[in-house]
Structure 1
Amino acid sequence: MSLLGLLVWAYALVFVSGSPVDNGDESLANILNTFQIMDDKDVTVAISHALKEASLTNDTCGACTGRLAIGKSLSLVRPDLVPATFEKWCNDNKYASESTCATNYHRNTVEASTTGSNFADMLQLMDPYGYDGQLYCYYKDSGACPKPKTPNVSLSHLWPAKQDKHKVAPVSNGSDTFNVLHISDFHIELDYTVGAEVNCSTSMCCTPHSINAKSNASDSSASNWNSFYDGSHYMDSNFSFVRGDKLSNPFQGVSIPAPSFGHYHCDAPELLINSSLNNVVDFAKKQKLDFEFAIFTGDLVDHDEIRFTDYKMTVKSEQYIMRDMKSRLGDMPVYPVLGNHDTFPYGELAQEGYGFSNKDSWNADMLADIYEDYGWLDRKQADYARHHYTGFSVNTKQGLKVISLNSNAFYKKNHYCYWNSTNPDSFGQWEFLIDELVESEKNDQRVWIITHIPPISDSLPLPSKIFGEIVERFSPSTIAGIFFGHTHLDQFNLLYAKDVKSIDTIVNMAWIGQAVTPWVENNPAWRYYEVDSETFSIMNSFNYYSKLNETFANEGQEPEWLFEYSARDVYNVTWPSQAPLNASYWHLVAEKIKSDVSYRQLYENLAKRWSPYVPDCSKGKNCQTDYCFLSTFVTDDYDKCVAQLKSN
């Protein structure tokens, strides 16, 4: 019997028959012992060859699930050899580029954010030939399998029947409001280098390792740029701006040099981040405006290639941004969530209780300490965040409950989401959320939910479906607001109760906060909400941005931050002045965007904050899927909408 045959047979014995069965002189124990007594290099070579054999078929789905089955057999006896084996197979057969093979399969180290050890963990627990394998091969292996049908499961047994009084939203008796700051997606580029290559062929530009491989590519306006000041910074004492020294010759070997405050093809230098935070504080002082608290919807670490994203850089990025927020915002409470970049390795988060959560506990410990030290969470809340890092809740002094969720628990790039994936709640996150909502509903308390990834953007279908069901059950009486980040765009999502999208079937909506990072091709921005003091509904939002391209030729001076728009006014929707900007309001906005190209263009202008890269919606298929994104909340609904659009 070939090694491939032995591997598949071993898998079948354990996971089909359920027990070892003798086959002549070859027992399961003898087969598995073969892996233990063979030289490590020989095992790696032999099994990488078996992986190649499994891939020699036109059935891409069968090839993918077959590789997973072989890997599972190996992971049960020699999980330490899984990364090297799959990396060798990937490189030998040119299944992907060398860097991608390393990113996906090289063992975990502190040197780079490679995920091979997480892949091995996943293999030990997953069912390669079931929904787990199908899901993995669709989302993590370039669509090798068709998208599998989402299991028809629910968590409705965890909540009581909805009473009539909870089928309507509370109405305010007064007109008092307070203000809440929303900031998101800083993505600090610690090695941002003034004068480095902007026109790079790598994933992240403006760094010492950025390479220009785009022949004859240039920005015709770059010859007029003069904002090349090295060492510019803000004083720690009074936050005043200090311009650095102008570089004498920033153009050697560089086609387009990086300006002082950042560029659209780069993540944010700390200088730009502190400029945005200073603007928040200065604006509040000038307007005599108080922010009762801030919500931060995730992503502290930059988008650089995995080989340049090491453990120390991840830790430093997280610590620096938290420090900068605290130093600039002072005693203002900040309620944060973690983004998909805010972990090491990138995007990974293991469930508690299955042997792997210790790989993530360092991050939860460090950040919970910061939250407590800065006074954002009290001891009990911080302890919960430390030990149950898929979520925590805070009761604000205004009487609102803020529930923070870690969206890596449903992120499609997280390996740990691909085992037992028919389980609607393997992380226990949804039960936590439901328990909090049931408690608040019982006490007639309103709730905001904050997380990083919108369910239709990079979320797996089943948790997305469950999230939507939870929101529908506890809307409109309990859930007063939902807030996301991640997309870097100024957007919103709508949840409808039925396939028919009408003002009668609208359930709730979610706000997606703009990013401070300009990556990719957006102007940096922030916003604040005017909130009803009784119902905690959003009465209005006010958005501020900076035209980053105007800092390229301003001799290194600070960016100018400008008022962009008021959400109540910008779309010219007829709406009662005392009514909150609820889901019904945003349904009317979405209908305008759907039916009128001028409103679609306005939406795109605002989404990218009037950057030079806003698409022209009147040309070709630009902006075609905007309505699908805005009018759906669940992954399957969005996919269905886009498929229908393409078929028309």
Structure 2
Amino acid sequence: MKSIASLAVLLGLAQLAASSPAFVARRNDASSAAEAFNKETSAYTASSAFPTSMFASYYNTPASMTAEPRPVVTDVGRNSVFPDILANPTILPLGPSSSEAVYPVATGTASPDIVSQVRQEITDIFASSSSNCTKCTDALKTAQKLAQQSPQDVPALLIELCTKYKFKSASTCAKQYAPQVLGSVYAQVLSYANFSSGSTDAQYMCNVVVGSSFSNCSLPKPRLLDEAYLDDWFHGKRTPPSSYNLNVGEPTANGGNLRVLHMSDIHVDPRFFVGGEAACTNGRCCRADAYNSTLSSGNFTQGTLSRALSGANISESATYWGNFQCDAPWSLALSTLGAVTPLNGGHEVDMTIHTGDMVVHDLAQYISQDLVKYTHQSLYDSIRAMLGKGPVFNAIGNHDSAPSDFASQGALPDGRSDQLSWDWDNLARLWEAEGWFDHDEAEQVRSHYAGYSVTPRKGLRIVAINTDFWYKNNIFNMIHTSNPDYSGSLRFLTDELFHAEQRGERVWIVGHVLTGWDGSNPLDNPTNLFYQIVDRFAPHVIAHIFFGHTHEDQFNIFYANNGTSRAADQAKAVSFMAPSVTPGNNVNPALRIMHVNATTYEVMDYHQFYTQVPTFPDLPESSHGPVYEYLYSARQAYGNFTSSNANSTHPVDGGVWPQDAPLNATFWAKLTEEMAVRKELVQQFTVFQGRNSPRSPNCTSDECVSAKICYMQSGSAPLGKQCKQGYGSVQSS
């Protein structure tokens, strides 16, 4: 095992040296930057011992590295202990209870034979000679009759059709479309969607939910947000005020920058099974029921797993500290949290931005409300204990609910907008209990799903928004698709920005799902409107935007006039996508500590640290845990624009970004100009994207370089989709 891990690291470093000679020099720059940052924080070695004091008791003994600890966590909302079945790797969880099913209210009286009638009509539609897209849209319209007249019969019909037409295996169909899993939600969407002529709901559903490869339905063109629409949206105030009285923040006690942690996508897996299959071909890897089909047929049963795979039937063993194709075990999650203060020179960070996704990736039938609450309770308690008193401002990720990905809009009829209020009520209680929010702020979280708005320091406002309302996998977004803000979240954001403008505040927008990059994650219409909002309020109000979700180190630039010009002097805002803590899929875990000007709230630099997954197999035989190394300084890695400076619309003296200038949108726009001239910078960026992962593909071809620059310059889904596709992610195997 030692030789395999060492070979993986060696091959990864050899790949970097061969593919980008400039990268070696840049690593020297990064080392210099680390020394300038703080000689004591260039690296941190975690303890091999699990911090047992983090939890009062455990279902097992966490002293040995042969198994992950299973903490006993009390749900203080109910004053009861979460059951061990949520985390015991040898027992398949029961999943959501039947009480979690929420149906639409039936409209009218169902005809006696409605089920057989709809079944026959859909069968006839699929047997017709119509195009696949027409078949799909016609089938949806027919299914709507059942959803509106007899919604409780929708899950059974979905299971039947899924099995008959072999969309999935019979077992998977039955599990996924059970009423309490996805069945009742699909009944709601079918009932409330608008399938009339001129509506785009059916086309969106066939393209996004059913899938374009099966339905052959193209995505509708984005809605045109014309001047009349935008004048109405901004209440006739489309032009920013000519003067702006900035309510500047207060200097720190030592006169230095604020230290702000940007952390994202922890995805702790409480069922991580040490010794299991880490390169599986089914579901989630590093589980007791994970297997690689080349060596095993699986055949695990519900309840207690019937057997464990022998070593001969495992292609890659799940290690105690984690693996590339798996979510973070407790050992990795807590060692990463424990690294923050040491990497910050032994001082607590002033505040933390966490951009969502604490809950494990898993099959829909295993995600329950209890699992979400258990994860949030245990991780927020751990964050508070390990990061100290600095407040933490959280965005909700698409996996931070049950079912995953779903958020119900406030405009849903029949009181169905409140079906996920349990999640927000629980979060509000937790954030208040941890001391990050006062009672009034917690009540604001409870009041609606749009987000919250708080002021942690003089002159700074943090506005968090629920980005599930533009995430393509939130099936509720298939309702009223032509409305860019059916959820009301962007109305909330705009109003908060107007208030901040009146008060002279700087705003950080915090969310989970990015609005642009390659356009593969978000929906067109809401992110197009978001782009117009940023154009209106940046840079005088909006200082920065923070997202996560992709697990990769990325950024997006927002330009004036919807990006009609990508010149540096037209750049208005930048969004930072933070790297993940989870290694899945094929990236090294990372943390980012930002240096932020305490009066303008602009990022002056950030320092990125990471730990190498290929070293994990050897760690149980050592006397220590993961080593967190310095990766790079954004200013040092990207601040030299000498090759493009002469032709830039925003030249700087000597071509090097001034030391006293923030890393604002202009900085990042100039970086893309430099990348177009010095293409090796894109390969350097790609290495950072996966945090030195030996599994990241190179980006040295002209096509890849051009595509990535295009992604960086695309702050909305419509703009991202205009770029050459296929180069957005480094998470290949």
TM over 0.5: yes
Give the counterpart of 2:665 among 583, 586, 596: 583
**Alpha-carbon distance, 1:313 to partner:** 2.2
TM-score by length of 2: 0.74
**Alpha-carbon distance, 1:297 to partner:** 0.2
Paired with 2:727 and 2:295, the residues of 1 have a C-alpha distance of: 37
Q: Partner of 1:505 in structure 2?
A: 570
Q: Partner of 1:337 in structure 2?
A: 395
Q: Partner of 1:423 in structure 2?
A: 483
Q: Partner of 2:625 in structure 1?
A: 558
1:323 lines up with 2:386 in the alignment:
no
Give the counterpart of 2:286 among 196, 203, 206: 206
Q: Partner of 1:484 in structure 2?
A: 547
Unaligned runs of 5+ in 1: 1-30, 217-248
The one-character-per-residue Cα deviations of 1:357-413 (angstroms, maximum 9, x if unpaired) are 232011111111001111111111111111212200110134310001111111111
Number of corresponding residues: 572
Q: Partner of 2:461 in structure 1?
A: 401
Give the counterpart of 2:317 among 251, 257, 262: 257
Paired with 2:249 and 2:677, the residues of 1 have a C-alpha distance of: 33
Structure 2 residue matching 1:255: 3-state secondary structure = coil
Give the counterpart of 1:84 among 116, 132, 156: 156
Q: Partner of 2:81 in structure 1?
A: none
Q: Which residue identity is paired with 2:182?
A: T
Q: Partner of 2:89 in structure 1?
A: none
**Alpha-carbon distance, 1:644 to partner:** 12
Instruction: Give the alignment of 1:44-83 within 5 angstroms.
Output: 44-56=115-127, 57-83=129-155
**Alpha-carbon distance change, 90 to 485 in structure 1, aligned in 2, over 3 angstroms:** same
- Asked if the contact 1:48–1:88 (Cα under 8 Å) also holds between the matched residues in 2, the reply is no
**Alpha-carbon distance change, 101 to 59 in structure 1, aligned in 2, over 3 angstroms:** farther
Q: Which residue identity is paired with 1:472?
A: D
Paired with 1:212 and 1:408, the residues of 2 have a C-alpha distance of: 33
Q: Partner of 1:607 in structure 2?
A: 689
Paired with 2:437 and 2:222, the residues of 1 have a C-alpha distance of: 37
Percent identity of the aligned residues?
29
Q: Partner of 1:118 in structure 2?
A: 185
Structure 1 residue matching 2:723: 3-state secondary structure = helix
Structure 1 residue matching 2:464: 3-state secondary structure = strand
Structure scoring higher RCO (CA < 8 A, sep ≥ 6) equals 2
**Alpha-carbon distance, 1:435 to partner:** 1.0
Structure 2 residue matching 1:206: 3-state secondary structure = coil
**Alpha-carbon distance change, 442 to 99 in structure 1, aligned in 2, over 3 angstroms:** farther
The one-character-per-residue Cα deviations of 1:41-95 (angstroms, maximum 9, x if unpaired) are xx54542332122223341221111111011111111011112112211211223
Q: Which moved more, 1:122-131 or 1:534-543?
A: 122-131
**Alpha-carbon distance, 1:511 to partner:** 0.5
Paired with 2:727 and 2:263, the residues of 1 have a C-alpha distance of: 33
Paired with 1:330 and 1:290, the residues of 2 have a C-alpha distance of: 6
Paired with 1:380 and 1:170, the residues of 2 have a C-alpha distance of: 23
Paired with 2:725 and 2:285, the residues of 1 have a C-alpha distance of: 34
Paired with 1:180 and 1:199, the residues of 2 have a C-alpha distance of: 35
Instruction: Give the alignment of 1:364-443 within 5 angstroms.
Output: 364-443=424-503
**Alpha-carbon distance, 1:199 to partner:** 1.8
Structure 2 residue matching 1:179: 3-state secondary structure = strand
Paired with 1:166 and 1:473, the residues of 2 have a C-alpha distance of: 14
- Asked if the contact 2:247–2:459 (Cα under 8 Å) also holds between the matched residues in 1, the reply is no
Paired with 2:241 and 2:447, the residues of 1 have a C-alpha distance of: 37
- Asked if the contact 1:615–1:623 (Cα under 8 Å) also holds between the matched residues in 2, the reply is no
Paired with 1:264 and 1:525, the residues of 2 have a C-alpha distance of: 13
Paired with 1:397 and 1:250, the residues of 2 have a C-alpha distance of: 56
Give the counterpart of 2:166 among 80, 94, 119: 94
**Alpha-carbon distance, 1:99 to partner:** 6.0
- Asked if the contact 1:66–1:128 (Cα under 8 Å) also holds between the matched residues in 2, the reply is no
1:445 lines up with 2:505 in the alignment:
yes
**Alpha-carbon distance change, 108 to 393 in structure 1, aligned in 2, over 3 angstroms:** farther
Q: Partner of 1:352 in structure 2?
A: 410
TM-score by length of 1: 0.83
RMSD: 2.6
The one-character-per-residue Cα deviations of 1:510-565 (angstroms, maximum 9, x if unpaired) are 01101000000000001111111111111111111111211211335300011111
**Alpha-carbon distance, 1:252 to partner:** 5.3
- Asked if the contact 2:558–2:713 (Cα under 8 Å) also holds between the matched residues in 1, the reply is yes
Q: Which moved more, 1:604-613 or 1:572-581?
A: 572-581
- Asked if the contact 1:44–1:84 (Cα under 8 Å) also holds between the matched residues in 2, the reply is no
**Alpha-carbon distance, 1:593 to partner:** 3.2
**Alpha-carbon distance, 1:341 to partner:** 0.5
Q: Partner of 2:219 in structure 1?
A: 147
Paired with 1:319 and 1:269, the residues of 2 have a C-alpha distance of: 16
Q: Which residue identity is paired with 2:619?
A: N
- Asked if the contact 1:131–1:422 (Cα under 8 Å) also holds between the matched residues in 2, the reply is yes
Paired with 1:645 and 1:351, the residues of 2 have a C-alpha distance of: 33
- Asked if the contact 1:204–1:210 (Cα under 8 Å) also holds between the matched residues in 2, the reply is yes
Instruction: Give the alignment of 1:224-263 within 5 angstroms.
Output: 251=311, 253-263=313-323
Q: Which moved more, 1:188-197 or 1:250-259?
A: 250-259
Q: Partner of 1:16 in structure 2?
A: none
Paired with 2:123 and 2:163, the residues of 1 have a C-alpha distance of: 11
- Asked if the contact 1:45–1:85 (Cα under 8 Å) also holds between the matched residues in 2, the reply is no
- Asked if the contact 1:481–1:537 (Cα under 8 Å) also holds between the matched residues in 2, the reply is yes
- Asked if the contact 1:166–1:478 (Cα under 8 Å) also holds between the matched residues in 2, the reply is no
Paired with 1:477 and 1:90, the residues of 2 have a C-alpha distance of: 52
The one-character-per-residue Cα deviations of 1:555-576 (angstroms, maximum 9, x if unpaired) are 3530001111110001242201
**Alpha-carbon distance, 1:348 to partner:** 1.0
Q: Which moved more, 1:293-302 or 1:53-62?
A: 53-62
Q: Partner of 1:138 in structure 2?
A: 207
Q: Partner of 1:5 in structure 2?
A: none
Instruction: Give the alignment of 1:537-556 within 5 angstroms.
Output: 537-555=602-620
**Alpha-carbon distance change, 548 to 65 in structure 1, aligned in 2, over 3 angstroms:** same
**Alpha-carbon distance change, 644 to 36 in structure 1, aligned in 2, over 3 angstroms:** closer
Paired with 1:117 and 1:206, the residues of 2 have a C-alpha distance of: 31
**Alpha-carbon distance, 1:155 to partner:** 4.7
The one-character-per-residue Cα deviations of 1:130-163 (angstroms, maximum 9, x if unpaired) are 2111122121121231111112234542432424
**Alpha-carbon distance change, 263 to 407 in structure 1, aligned in 2, over 3 angstroms:** same
- Asked if the contact 1:615–1:622 (Cα under 8 Å) also holds between the matched residues in 2, the reply is no
Structure 2 residue matching 1:587: 3-state secondary structure = helix
Q: Which moved more, 1:299-308 or 1:264-273?
A: 299-308
- Asked if the contact 1:49–1:89 (Cα under 8 Å) also holds between the matched residues in 2, the reply is no
Structure 1 residue matching 2:625: 3-state secondary structure = coil
Paired with 2:495 and 2:545, the residues of 1 have a C-alpha distance of: 17
Paired with 1:157 and 1:607, the residues of 2 have a C-alpha distance of: 40
- Asked if the contact 2:246–2:504 (Cα under 8 Å) also holds between the matched residues in 1, the reply is no
- Asked if the contact 2:348–2:388 (Cα under 8 Å) also holds between the matched residues in 1, the reply is no
Paired with 2:156 and 2:583, the residues of 1 have a C-alpha distance of: 37
Structure 2 residue matching 1:464: 3-state secondary structure = helix
Paired with 2:446 and 2:683, the residues of 1 have a C-alpha distance of: 44
Q: Partner of 1:234 in structure 2?
A: none
Instruction: Give the alignment of 1:259-338 within 5 angstroms.
Output: 259-284=319-344, 287-338=345-396
Unaligned runs of 5+ in 2: 1-106, 297-308, 641-655, 729-733
**Alpha-carbon distance change, 623 to 319 in structure 1, aligned in 2, over 3 angstroms:** farther
Q: Which moved more, 1:441-450 or 1:206-215?
A: 206-215
Q: Which residue identity is paired with 2:239?
A: K
